[in-house]
A and B are shown apart, each in its own frame.
Chain A
Amino acid sequence: MSFETVRIAGVNDLSSSKAAPTPTAGQRLDHLLMVDMVEPGSRVLDVGCGDGTLLALLTECRGVDGRGIELSREGVNQCVARGLSVIQGDADADLVAYPDDAFDYVILSQTIQATRRPRAVLEHLLRIGRRAIVSFPNFGHWRVRAELALKGRMPVTENLPDSWYDTPNIHFCTIRDFVALCEEVNAKMERAMALDSGGQPVRFNMPWWVWNLFGEQAVFLLKRG
């Protein structure tokens, strides 16, 4: 099974055309795409690692030396109980302690929108890791736009199920917003892809606005510029 990578004007896909591992039941496609971006045997920090599913997958498929940071105690407990090196902490407060170039990859999966200072967090990712992998829900998706434009209400979708008053996601952005931030912090985009609502890569070799409309989430492989 192979995935086409959507090309964006000005962004070159530098990766080899290696296929991600074949998904089995219960595996998230965005996880498999991220696994595909990681070189075997590398050092990886997963920021907001949840119950450790991605870290465990990386350890299994890529033999990485993996570490994690997770906000929820339950998540940390599950990780440690399954033998992963994970600390209870959060991206805003704990990244500062890590030295430059401590990891080959720092992953921020579906977390940047929940941080207090996304820009500072992204800068730390690029400082700590030789590469950063960032995925996030796209607030520019047509369903989100439709909710806001037609109903006049803050969007509640399958992918973003929380109401505005109790969502942990305090800093939503669209794919275009994120690209702008990358330019602002001088991050180089090595790979970028958008996934549709089925978790499949958006199969358009099309300009930005298509992605920004049909991508429900996006995954970026970044490097210091």
Chain B
Amino acid sequence: MLVSVGDLPVPASQVDEPDSLVARFGADRPLVMDSGAVIAPWQIAYQTYGSLNAARSNAVLICHALTGDQHAANRHPITGKDGWWSSMVGPGLPIDTERFFVICANVVGSCMGTTGPASLNPETGEAWGLSFPLVTIRDMVRAQAALIDHLGIEQLFAVIGGSMGGMQVLQWAASYPERVFAAMPIATAAIHSAQNIAFHEVGRQAIMADPDWRGGHYLQAGVKPSKGLAVARMGAHITYLSEGALHRKFGRRFQDRDAPTFSFDADFQVESYLRYQGESFVERFDANSYLYITRAMDYFDLAADHGGVLANAFRGTRTRFCVVSFTSDWLFPTPGSRAIVHALNAAAASVSFVEVDSDKGHDAFLLNEPVFFATTRGFLDSAARARGL
């Protein structure tokens, strides 16, 4: 079903009744969060591709990034576009749905069907808004583990994700080492850098500065902080690209004109592109969710959770790792991946690490980079052989 864009930031139907599978948990299985909050009832929305084998040993969990969702490889119910990783996940593709049972779940705090600030709080009959507890990466992973339990899967063959999805992969490997046979953290880090926290803060302040944010109560008021959320997205989008990619794509070319207009119109193609990115984003994303999920990333510091030594997070692990970074990614640059690799070496873990040559910036992990795809395919093939798949 294709949902048209309504007055609400995200069609309410996607928030509580999404066009995907949903696992619902009652008071008997509450979500216990790092903040100390306990939520029940709660729900997690997910999609699956391929089929689970009889031994239940071929499940691959895909973890999505900040503004991603469970629609990894199917048509998106709001935008009508292909899923965010449809070049990677599918029959015969590196994450081969003819061999693997692929699961992708919407993270806690998001707005596409898993419980978050836009969801209905059954106690008040209104959207949670800012009364929703702060979320961490570990909370997201805890919720996914509940889903994996619900699906009757003891061990995941692989957990794979890029950016914030990569943080979840690392958290999975640290929290549930025996449940992860292979792990692929891509374009990520074990700690969110000061620079990245700074970028997030700018985005959050843009949202909060929009008068229509209404202190977080915009849903009740029937408005949406579209301007603020769009600006947040525009700023963030720049960090997903690279100078080279922007130059190649736009240069200093004008948008539908031959000369500057001596105004603040979108004279340049790059301006027009960013405005479009901002405007289309607000159609599918909830502003409060953006606040919560960026915060979850800011709080991520896996070493701090393990006595300040990252290697302690992986002590004794039998999981095989494949770490991938991209040369032009300045949001999660290679040294962050190398720190993960060094920690895994110190923990005597099995690890491969590839830095892929690409000028496409952080977003390279979403694109068809041949070396990245070959690496993914090779790693999963060899892990599958080791797992007897």
Q: Which residues from chain A sit less than 8 Å from chain B, CB to CB?
A: 65, 67, 73, 76-77, 79-89, 94, 97-99, 102
Contact = CB atoms under 8 A, between A and B. Distances in A.
B53 to A, nearest CB: 21
Contacts of B322: 80
B374 A81 contact: yes
Given A80-B322, A81-B374, A97-B345, A67 B350 contact: yes
Contact of B354 (A67, A76, A82, A94): A76
A94 B345 contact: yes
A94 B350 contact: no
27 contacts: A65-B350, A67-B351, A73-B354, A73-B356, A73-B357, A77-B354, A79-B352, A80-B352, A80-B354, A81-B377, A82-B378, A82-B382, A83-B381, A85-B320, A85-B350, A86-B353, A87-B323, A87-B341, A87-B351, A87-B352, A88-B353, A89-B353, A97-B343, A97-B346, A98-B348, A99-B348, A102-B348
Contacts of A99: 346, 348
Given A77-B371, A81-B377, A97-B346, A87 B382 contact: no
A99 B385 CA distance: 29
A72 to B, nearest CB: 11
Contacts, number: 67
Nearest to A128: B345
Interface string B350-389: 1111111100000000000001001101110110010000
Chain B: interface size category: 20 to 34
Contacts of B323: 87
Interface of B: 320, 322-323, 338, 341-343, 345-346, 348, 350-357, 371, 374-375, 377-379, 381-382, 385
Contacts of A88: 353-355
A97 B352 contact: no
A82 B375 CA distance: 9
B379 A80 contact: yes
A128 B385 CA distance: 29
Contacts of B354: 73, 76-77, 80, 88
Contacts of A97: 341-343, 345-346
Given A80-B322, A97-B346, A87 B374 contact: no
Contacts of A82: 378, 382
Nearest to A68: B352
Given A77-B371, A99-B346, A83 B378 contact: yes
B315 to A, nearest CB: 11
Ranked nearest first, the 7 interchain pairs of A and B with the lowest CB-CB distance are: A83-B382, A81-B378, A97-B342, A87-B353, A97-B345, A80-B352, A85-B350
Contacts of A73: 354-357, 371
B346 A84 contact: no
B320 A77 contact: no
Contact of B342 (A83, A85, A94): A94
Contacts of B346: 97-99
Contacts of B375: 77, 80-81
A81 B354 CA distance: 11
A63 to B, nearest CB: 13
B257 to A, nearest CB: 42
Contact of A86 (B352, B371, B377): B352
B352 A84 contact: yes
Nearest to A65: B350
Contacts of B379: 80, 83
A79 B374 CA distance: 11
A102 B345 CA distance: 9
B114 to A, nearest CB: 33
Nearest to B349: A85
B345 A85 contact: no
Contacts of B341: 87, 89, 97
A151 B153 CA distance: 71
Contacts of A65: 350
Contacts of B320: 85
Contacts of A98: 345-346, 348
Given A97-B346, A98-B346, A80 B351 contact: no
Contacts of A84: 352, 382
A138 to B, nearest CB: 31
A82 B374 CA distance: 10
Nearest to A79: B352
A99 B377 CA distance: 30
Contacts of A102: 345, 348
A208 to B, nearest CB: 37
A89 B338 CA distance: 9
